[in-house]
Amino acid sequence: MADDPLSGAVALVTGASSGIGAATARRLAREGAAVMLVARRRDRLDEVVSGIEKNGDLAYGLEADLTRPEIADEVVQQTVDRLGRLDVLINNAGIMLLGPALHTTVAEWDRMVALNVAGLLHVTHAAVPHLIGSAATSPRQVADLVNVSSTSGRVARPGSSVYNLTKFGLNGFTESLRQELITEHVRVSVIEPGTVDTELVDHLAGVVGAAARRQVDGIEALRADDVADAITYIVTRDRRIAVNELLVRAAEQTW
């Protein structure tokens, strides 16, 4: 519909095969955006895209490993080539591997840094010129970049040192980039969800995984759709409004 808030806009969502990414892609499509979904799992990606298309909305899926700079560049370029522009980037792809530093492998740390930091930087670097161009030519007169961080970017806890590193760093990067792109009419925002009932916890094994699952089960966690609603709120504001930072905790969450 022409009166949808994101009518005519193009959105790129990373980590879009499940959880927050999938929910956000569905919600942005309902608001009128054509959506490019990016993830590693082809089967899950196709399932989400199919669901969006059944609602009469436009979506495509790209299977990609964003930790490789050339692939990140290609994903952004394919989005622009196929859909004509890029108005909204949602950097959601990430992984959480918890455990005490003494008993955690460097390989696990490297996996988190590769996706949560390097992958996000690669996509952002490729996307920013297109976002600037769209802000200058769009009827909305603004473009949006939203980084999905975490309460772990605000509160450090034992067993999550490198995950904290990636999210604290993401918050600082977002604020600096926000200031750089103000004059280009590209809004840069960070959203920090608390405990969300998604597959992120399922990546954890053994004692750490069991403890994390008990923590999630001990409260009424946020749903992926709750976070998608918050992201959609950010990117559908009038151009005069910038929601720079949004902290969304489960109501019963104390940390």
Residues annotated as catalytic are: 163
What region, left, alpha or beta, does residue 148 occupy, with left being phi > 0 and alpha being psi -120 to 50 degrees? Answer: beta
Q: In this structure, what are the phi and psi dihedrals at residue 195, rounded to the nearest 5 degrees?
A: -65, 120
Under a CB-based contact definition with an 8 Å cutoff, are residues 58 and 34 in contact?
yes
Under a CB-based contact definition with an 8 Å cutoff, are residues 222 and 255 in contact?
no
Q: Look up residue 219 and give its two tokens.
A: 């409260």
Residue with tokens 């995950």: 163
Burial class (CB in 10 A: 0-12, 13-18, 19+), 25: buried
Closest Cα to residue 70, out of 124, 122, 111?
A: 122
- Our CA angle for 44, 118, 92, nearest 5°, is 40
Burial class (CB in 10 A: 0-12, 13-18, 19+), 118: middle
